[in-house]
Amino acid sequence: MTSTQRKQLRALAHHLDPVVFIGKQGLTEGVMAAVVKALSAHELIKVRFLEGKEEKRELTDKISESTGAEIAGIIGHVAILYKENPDPKKRQIELD
């Protein structure tokens, strides 16, 4: 993913609310399932870190590796993740 594409995704995510929250338990199976479900439904999501803020980069990397999502950016305590829908008819976002 190019820096221009990441910038485009961050701009698209600006008005989105976080759909997954990571709390005291960290990355549980439930959190990972919620991320996978949200990515398949929306392609572009925000994940908010309520706890574990010091490890947010490592946790975001783990989420990315597990789900196959791209990290569009980390702003404050919010990670922006993108995963293109495999079905071309269901894709909502077209990257430059």
Residue 16: what pLDDT? Answer: 95
Residue 33: what pLDDT? Answer: 95
Paired residues of 80 in beta bridges: 46, 73
| CA proximity to 18, closest of 66, 64, 63, 79 | 79
Q: Which residues are CB-contacts of 72 (< 8 A; sequence separation ≥ 6)?
A: 1, 6, 9, 10, 13, 44, 80, 81, 82
Reported pTM: 0.92
**Structure confidence at residue 94 as a pLDDT band (50, 70, 90):** confident
Q: How far apart are CA 62 and CA 60, in angstroms?
A: 5
pLDDT in tens, 60-82: 999 999 999 999 999 999 999 99
Residue 96 has pLDDT above 80, yes or no: no
Question: Mean pLDDT, to the nearest integer, of 5-14?
Answer: 94
Structural domains of the chain sorted by starting position, each given as residue range(s) with its CATH number in brackets: 3-87 (3.30.110.60)
